[in-house]
Each structure stands twice: as C-alpha cells, then as structure tokens.
C-alpha cells in the first residue's frame, strides 16, 4: 500500500495498474465471514475518482466531523482518507484507473479543487467517502446519497449501500437518499456518482468502528463498485 504514496502527482494520485488483471480475493479479508468472492478474474477498465471527504490542515482547514476514539479526538478527514487509500489499492489491483482527489492529510483540498480534478479526469465513476454526524443524541447507521438528475447515480448508490449492509449486517441500514443538492454530486457531469456516509463519527461506538474497520469498509465499498460495474 505504501507504493501509493510514491505516485504522488501534485495533489492528485494517479494509480496505474501495476499488476496483471485480477480481482482482489477474499482471503485478504478473512474476518468478513460469508462468501464474498468476486465472479472471477475479470478486469475493470473504468476510470474512477475516489474522493476522501474534506481534508487539509493548512490554509482553510476542513477536518469534517469529529468524534472521540481512545479519549482523543478523531477527525472525519483522517478516517475517510484511510478508507479511500485502501479502496484505491483494491481498485488498482482490479485494473481500474484510480484517481484520488487528495492523498496527503495535510494538504488543503477545497470542493472546487476536487471538482476541477473530476472535470479534468472525466472518469466513469465518482465515489465520495464521508463519515456522518448529527446534532443531539448520536445517531447510527450507514447511508448513501445519489443524484436523481444523473442517470446511473442511484444504481451505484444502491450497489454500494447493499454491499455495505451485506458486509456489516448489524449496522442500521439508512438506505439510499436523494442528494442532488450536494456539491460533489451536482458540480460535474459524471453519471455514475454517489456519496457514502460510512457511519456516525460523533457516536463513540461507531467512531471506534470507523477507525478499527477501515479496511473492511473499503472492501465493502469496493465490492459495491464491482457489483455496479458488473450490472452495466
């Protein structure tokens, strides 16, 4: 995974497939339980932009939502970056052309910067990864937003939401939701786009889940993306 960081290209990482066409096998994720094997050794020649939500410590910092883990603050900015980098690695190994909107936890990354990357790269798929938060009593659950003004957005959101619930059946299923007002879903023309809210970071138990299970979360999103690609 460290190889990812060697490919830093400005604020954007372009991951060129290093391995032969392959799909990541479940044995890398032994604690997932049930059979989640992909259909077979199929290559996916799609370009995908993975957006770790928020980001940046310098300039105008955007830590996103905040929670508590091990009596210390834990920031959405950092949790979603770990998930995104792991997801990028999985997709790269399945022959996707992967672009991350940010790779360095310190680099400031505004929404217009991120959308400029999407407009420039013209990917087939955009997945923005977030951790949720709410006011009042901490909520729980996983939800995925789509744009009703984009043709393939709901299908992608459903595939990712379904896969998340398949991997994490004990978590509350908050379903897919219309989110065409969200900047990351409306400020570009990519039809296959969605935004996944992995759990509530302001919920202490779920903050621990997000930190401890970032690899499994990445794998669940990965499986959802494969299901979407298989249905195209």
Q: By CB under 5 A, name the binding residues for Zn ion.
A: 53, 64, 130
Measured from the CB atom, the residue of 53 and 179 that comes closer to Zn ion is: 53
Measured from the CB atom, the residue of 36 and 107 that comes closer to Zn ion is: 107
151 touches 203 (CB < 8 A):
no
Tell me the closest approach of the beta carbon of residue 185 to Zn ion, in angstroms: 13
Tell me the closest approach of the beta carbon of residue 191 to Zn ion, in angstroms: 22
CB atoms within 10 A of CB 47: 16
Tell me the closest approach of the beta carbon of residue 85 to Zn ion, in angstroms: 17
Tell me the closest approach of the beta carbon of residue 197 to Zn ion, in angstroms: 7
Distance CA 70, CA 202 (A): 13
Tell me the closest approach of the beta carbon of residue 75 to Zn ion, in angstroms: 10
Measured from the CB atom, the residue of 53 and 56 that comes closer to Zn ion is: 53
Closest residue to Zn ion, judged by C-beta, is: 130
Measured from the CB atom, the residue of 93 and 102 that comes closer to Zn ion is: 102
Task: Give the pairing type, strands 125-132 and 66-69.
Answer: unpaired
Measured from the CB atom, the residue of 67 and 124 that comes closer to Zn ion is: 67
Element (H, E) at 172: none
Distance CA 215, CA 197 (A): 15
Query: Residues with Cβ < 8 Å from 68, sequence gap 6 or more?
Result: 74, 204, 207
Task: Give the pairing type, strands 97-100 and 12-15.
Answer: antiparallel
């Amino acid at each position: 995974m460290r190889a990812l960081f060697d490919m830093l290209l400005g604020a954007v990482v372009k991951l060129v497939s290093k391995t032969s066409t392959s799909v990541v096998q479940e044995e890398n994720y032994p604690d997932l339980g049930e059979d989640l094997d992909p259909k077979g050794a199929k290559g996916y020649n799609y370009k995908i932009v993975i957006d770790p939500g928020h980001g940046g410590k310098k300039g105008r910092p955007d830590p996103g939502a905040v929670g508590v883990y091990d009596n210390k603050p834990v920031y959405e900015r950092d949790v979603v970056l770990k998930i995104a980098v792991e997801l990028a690695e999985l997709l790269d190994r399945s022959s996707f052309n992967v672009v991350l909107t940010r790779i360095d936890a310190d680099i400031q990354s505004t929404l217009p910067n991120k959308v400029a990357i999407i407009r420039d790269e013209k990917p087939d798929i955009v997945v923005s990864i977030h951790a949720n938060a709410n006011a009042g009593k901490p909520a729980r659950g996983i939800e995925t937003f789509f744009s009703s003004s984009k043709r393939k957005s709901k299908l992608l959101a459903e595939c990712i939401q379904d896969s998340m619930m398949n991997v994490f059946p004990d978590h509350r299923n908050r379903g897919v939701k219309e989110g065409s007002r969200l900047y990351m879903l409306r400020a570009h023309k990519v039809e296959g786009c969605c935004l996944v809210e992995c759990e509530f970071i302001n919920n202490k138990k779920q903050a621990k889940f997000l930190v401890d299970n970032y690899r499994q979360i990445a794998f669940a999103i990965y499986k959802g993306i494969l299901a979407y690609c298989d249905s195209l």
